[in-house]
Structure 1
């Protein structure tokens, strides 16, 4: 039988209403457990509900105050919260392969920016053409003849300079941290000897599996010529600046008076010189390589393993060199914009409704029926929005005509990845309220807007991670696309396509009632004429 102290303790616990104690069996007792009493009194339920304490402040305000004031009693070894970086220490070397005019430089700089922007991986692009021009200056097409022995020696010297720079970069150690790096070698590397030279130079620096060759093949002659015009001549290939570049402050005396068509023909002649010694990848199955044919129509992968190489393959299948417009617009003014509240899912204000009508008219004239289309093919214009009400309401007046091939124009695709940054416990508050109720949080945000995370919410770094999937889809498109989203999200998208540092994203101006046009190029985007990015309400409404 239980001792007296055990029985007394059991009685005390029962009197206190502890249901677990009421049903428990004392140690050594043969008694059966009794079920706890059930309170079926409706009056008792109402009474307990009425007696529950109520906060004088709204719940989200009280949570914000609590989060701002709570401090641990003792934490002598706090964990530092730092920006996520690719810290496993792996080094990779991407070596481009292919004839001129295929988009190797475009791919090199896009991959470099993508790795730094979305994955915080230090990268460096080393261009053989730049090294060659430093040694011998600009040369005619005869310089690239494979029978020109003196030119061959100078090119070999330029290659060794590039490979030495690559080795120095890969062996650097950033502030004693074991951080991964990616070097990108932008050169033709069209012969087996060129590629063997690369492998030999990297012995002792990288394992074979970390040397990845990326071959770019384009079989459409018209696309090659278009790429030469749009990138090599207009954007700024040093060897091929025409007389029109004088207007841009880029006069090249050696090229003065050369027409655009003549420059294209001269570049095509250079390509013919390279073709004489070109050997595509595939003969050596021990090499790790990625072969991209016709802007991703066909992709061949050999000996590619691991997280980062797999991500690089995924990215390379998304990008292409064909120009197309990307239009960015914030949603129309919302009711929370009028009240200066953060976040929320409010409907449009009266001014926002006017913008929705004006935007639909602007898109119909400038996107669906442009005066100077970038492509002669029927344009399957697309529309991306977030999942929030204010973006969906903004595009509800868009024209959705069905084309002859069955394509529904501007059919809306909803992306949760494009939702506005989540303000957590501050959602629905004004910045004045945040400053008053949580001054420490307010100051922390001002100090580092990129990495500051709202309590129980998101930071810009969090948004960058989720926006990547939408950006990859936009990269893959060859048709015009209109993206209607939010200020923080569009800041990130804009800085990515303009190839700007993500640290500048939180300060980029993305005003309401404005459309921004971008056309991807080699080193970023060609932004539309500022007059075309005017507040369209001034044109169609006011």
Structure 2
């Protein structure tokens, strides 16, 4: 029986401010959103305050490049006011119980960063600057075309004109840009999307926890497929947990899954690669399973080289392992009622809660972010709910109600600001006896 994972992060975390720094099109907002998604998934209330959104909401979206010229004093005064309005809201939010606030702006001069530092310090909130530096013009060009041209700032504007204008905006910021120095504050510098990280005076839980995430972030597109194992003997009987073999339905699903992944990997690889040279082939797919038989059996028609992780094992039902939900309701009504009241935090006696599952998956998230090849994760309902919540930026407490049916492949393709999702049902729909009850407790 696994020991339950009690809290691995401090419940009394003091508020922190993370302030982004960097020229436009350096991925600051993407980094801010990824940090927010990660910390929120771990249970820390985190929020982004994007100064560009304040400008668009209060002044409208369309401003030509000369609006951002540092010599345009009137516009500069207006932009400074927008930044301070965002900072006011950020400080108020932290004062109301928030834990981590991200100030998403260029913050491109020492004078601006000094104001941010002083105002946060007056409230007792430590500040870490996260500076994104990118000298790779190919990456910058990709950021401009794939993200900035979709911005409300350029809605209805011809693409070539939008690129020209945004390049002029970058040039205005570049003339006044001052990189963060060791004398200013704590900082993390991300160079060329994780090629190099530089750290200065990094102390405390939040900044230290973010370093592995920031080291492993990248922008290489690849699909991530999530699926439960094929139907098992225990699924047929509605029993919790265990290490049962696949049923005949489950074995058929394993074969269907192998054929689907081979075809889909080839299709997506050809769509994203050069003519005649796909980005990936089926042999490139990295397959992860849990350490339980039913997931490894599901992977075998596709590969003999799957990687097994104990962290992907199903939620430990403790003393309720091998029971049906009806048996728990009749024999342990106190357990049934307590879990019904809070499925996310309730820990099975001598077992785990969904909250525990998230904590044990934390190191695996870093490895997931590091991967550049297509990935197939074959695991279990509770575990996949937790992974899906992370990838799709769902509040952790919603995990127990996220639909992850048997014999279905969930395809997620990470983008700059989230994931594109598609679902594929392979073969006849199968619902186990216990699965119908899972939605109700």
Q: What's the TM-score once normalised by structure 1's chain length?
A: 0.73
1:347 aligns with 2:241: no
- CA–CA separation in structure 2 for the residues paired with 1:338 and 1:281: 60
Q: Any idea what SS the aligned residue of 1:466 has?
A: helix
Alignment of 1:31-50 (within 5 A): none
**Cα distance per residue 1:12-34 (max 9 Å; x no partner):** xxxxxxxxxxxxxxxxxxxxxxx
Q: What secondary structure is seen at the aligned counterpart in 1 of 2:19?
A: strand
Moved more, 505-514 or 196-205: 196-205
Contact 1:217 1:293 in 2 (8 A): yes
**Match runs of 1:90-489 below 5 Å:** 90-118=14-42, 120-138=43-61, 139-172=63-96, 174=97, 181-206=99-124, 210-234=126-150, 237-241=151-155, 255=156, 258-282=157-181, 284-370=182-268, 372-374=270-272, 378-379=279-280, 380-399=284-303, 411-489=305-383
Q: Distance in 1 between matches of 2:420 and 2:161?
A: 24
Give 5+ residue unaligned stretches, structure 1: 1-59, 61-81, 175-179, 242-254, 401-410
- Contact 1:421–1:459 at 8 Å: present in 2 too? yes
Equivalent-residue separation in structure 1 for 2:13 and 2:261 (angstroms): 47
Q: Which has the higher contact order (CA 8 A, sep 6+)?
A: 2
For 1:231-255, what per-residue CA distance to the aligned partner results, in whole angstroms no more than 9, with x for missing partners?
3345xx22133xxxxxxxxxxxxx2
| C-alpha displacement of 1:85 | 6.9
CA gap 1:148/1:375 in 2 versus in 1, 3 angstroms: farther
- The 1:508–1:285 alpha-carbon spacing in structure 2 relative to 1, beyond 3 Å, is same
Does the 8 Å contact 1:231/1:521 carry over to 2? no
CA RMSD of aligned residues (A): 2.3
Residue 534 (1) aligns with residue 424 (2): yes
Query: Rg larger in 1 or in 2?
Result: 1
Cα distance in 2 for partners of 1:348, 1:265 equals 58
Deviation of 1:83 (Å): 8.1
CA deviations 1:301-332 (Å, max 9, x no partner) are: 00112222211222222323443221111111
How far apart, CA to CA, are the structure 2 residues paired with 1:489 and 1:285?
44
Q: Which residue matches 1:73?
A: none
Residues of 1 paired with 2:326 and 2:242: CA distance? 16
Contact 1:293 / 1:299 at 8 angstroms: preserved in 2?
A: yes
Kept in 1, the 8 Å contact 2:338–2:346? The answer is: yes
Superposition deviation, residue 84 in structure 1: 8.1
Q: Where does the alignment leave 5 or more consecutive residues of structure 2 unmatched?
A: 430-441
**Equivalent-residue separation in structure 1 for 2:339 and 2:386 (angstroms):** 17
**Distance in 2 of aligned mates of 1:309 and 1:515:** 35
Are the counterparts in 2 of residues 326 and 518 from structure 1 also a CA contact under 8 Å?
yes
CA distance in 2 between counterparts of 1:446 and 1:83 reads 21
What is the TM-score of this pair, normalised by structure 2?
Answer: 0.88
Q: Aligned residues, how many?
A: 418
Q: Which residue is 2:438 aligned to?
A: none
For residue 269 of structure 1, report the CA deviation from its aligned partner.
Answer: 2.9
1:202, 1:469 → 2: CA distance? 31
Is residue 360–residue 398 contact of structure 1 (8 Å, CA) maintained in 2? yes
